[in-house]
A = this chain, B = another copy of it.
Amino acid sequence: MSLLTVGSVAFDAIETPFGKTDKIIGGAGTYIALAAAFYNNEQNIVSVVGEDFPEEMLNQLKDRNVNIDGLQIKKGEKTFFWSGKYHNDMNSRDTLVTELNVLEHFDPIIPEHYQGADFLLLGNLSPQVQAQVIERLTVRPKLIAMDTMNFWMDIAMDDLKKTISMVDILIINDEEARQLSGEYSLVKASKVIRAIGPKYLIIKKGEHGALLFEGDRVFFAPALPLEEVFDPTGAGDTFAGGFMGYLASTNDISFENMKRAIINGSALASFCVEKFGTERLMTITKADLEKRIEQFVALTNFEMVHAIS
- Residue ranges of A at the interface with B (Cβ–Cβ < 8 Å): 38-40, 88-89, 184-188, 205, 208-209, 211, 217-222, 225-229, 246, 249-250, 256, 259-260, 263-264, 286, 289-290, 293, 297-300, 302-309
Contacts and interface: CB of A to CB of B under 8 A. Distances in A.
A38 B297 CA distance: 29
Top 3 closest pairs, chain A to chain B, by CB: A259-B302, A208-B208, A220-B222
Given A39-B309, A256-B302, A289-B308, A218 B211 contact: no
Contacts of A299: 218-220
**How many copies are assembled?**
2
B226 A185 contact: yes
Contact of A40 (B187, B259, B297, B309): B309
Contacts of A217: 298
A209 B222 contact: yes
B302 A263 contact: yes
Contacts of A263: 302, 304
A304 B300 contact: no
B211 A220 contact: no
Contacts of A219: 299-300, 302
A182 to B, nearest CB: 14
Nearest to A217: B298
A285 to B, nearest CB: 10
Contacts of A185: 226-229
Given A256-B302, A299-B220, A300-B220, A308 B205 contact: no
A19 to B, nearest CB: 17
Contacts of A88: 184
Nearest to A249: B309
Contacts of A308: 38-39, 246, 249, 264, 286, 289-290
A220 to B, nearest CB: 4
Contact of A225 (B218, B260, B289, B307): B218
B205 A208 contact: yes
Contacts of A221: 302
A208 B225 CA distance: 13
